Amino acid sequence: MITPLQGRPTVQLRGEDGSIRSVPQLRRHQPHSSPSLSWNGRYLALITQRGKRLAVILDRLNGRLHPLPLPGGRDPIRLSLAPDARRLALQVADKGQWRVELLDLSELLEPDRATGQTLTTPPLENIR
């Protein structure tokens, strides 16, 4: 969910027990918009701002932040991460025109498998 934190829209995660957790890896990349989680919450995709708007994916399992720079001056508007994190639908603005692009993330990320499959992801309540 997005909540105001020090006057800036900030992504926070709600644990199964209802507790609210910040995402420290994103602290310097505010404001946030358009968050999208994979099946088990291993990957969090969102749009941040650091000088300009940028789509990023956070791998919560290892804490790594993957920026997704867009060539040609396109600005990300909204995004949606596939449940297994293999693809990302990205609405962009390019020279006054809006369009949707589909990015293949299979070379960048391991798939986040549905519950019951072999990949282990930390539960939301264990986020620090």
Q: What is the pLDDT of residues 37-87, one digit of tens each?
A: 999 889 999 999 878 889 999 999 999 999 998 878 789 999 999 999 999
What is the CATH T-level fold of the domain 2-104, as seen in this structure? Neuraminidase (2.120.10)
pTM, two decimals, is 0.80
Report DSSP letters for the chain, one per residue.
Answer: -EEEETTEEEEEEE-TTS-EEE-GGGTTS-S-EEEEE-TTSSEEEEEEEESEEEEEEEETTTTEEEEE--GGG-EEEEEEE-TTSSEEEEEEEETTEEEEEEEE-TTTS---PPTTSS-----GGG--
Please report which confidence band the pLDDT of residue 27 belongs to, taking 50, 70 and 90 as the band edges.
confident
Q: Where are the domains of the chain?
A: 2-104
